[in-house]
Amino acid sequence: DVVMTQTPLSSPVTLGQPASISCRSSQSLVHNNGNTYLSWLQQRPGQPPRLLIYKISNRFSGVPDRFSGSGAGTDFTLKISRVEAEDVGLYYCMQTTQFPWTFGQGTKVEIK
């Protein structure tokens, strides 16, 4: 199974300041078809997960442009350019390049 490792596990951020979360996979997420199936999910307290980013850097419908994804191969990053109060919650990276899908441990974003 592909192991996904996120850092940091906790990220206290001042409102309006940027935040960055890293995700590393134990093996390359580049599929034979050339696509890299790395996604980012947000889970607000008491809510189900919500897709933010797919295939490394594509924002899902309705996701604010302060969220951006980057990376390649085994190293990926989610950035929030200016954190807002509604961004508080857990963030997970997820690989769907091969089964079983696997997730990072989650990074808690909270306001300082």
C-beta of 2 vs 77, nearer to another protein: 2
Burial of 29 (0-12, 13-18, 19+ CB in 10 A): buried
Residue 44 is a binding residue for another protein (CB under 8 A): no
Is the CB of residue 53 less than 8 Å from the CB of residue 36?
Answer: no
Closest contact distance (angstroms) between CB of 37 and another protein is 5
Site string for another protein, 49-68 (x = CB under 8 A): xxx--x-----x--------
User: Taking the complex as a whole, how short is the minimal distance between the CB of residue 29 and another protein, in angstroms?
Assistant: 11
Sequence letter at residue 13: V
Instruction: Give the closest residue to 7 by CA, choosing from 112, 87, 107, 80.
Output: 107
| Tokens 């594509």 sit on residue | 58
Residues that bind another protein in the complex, under the rule CB under 8 A: 31, 35, 37, 39, 41, 48-51, 54, 60, 92, 94, 96-97, 99-106
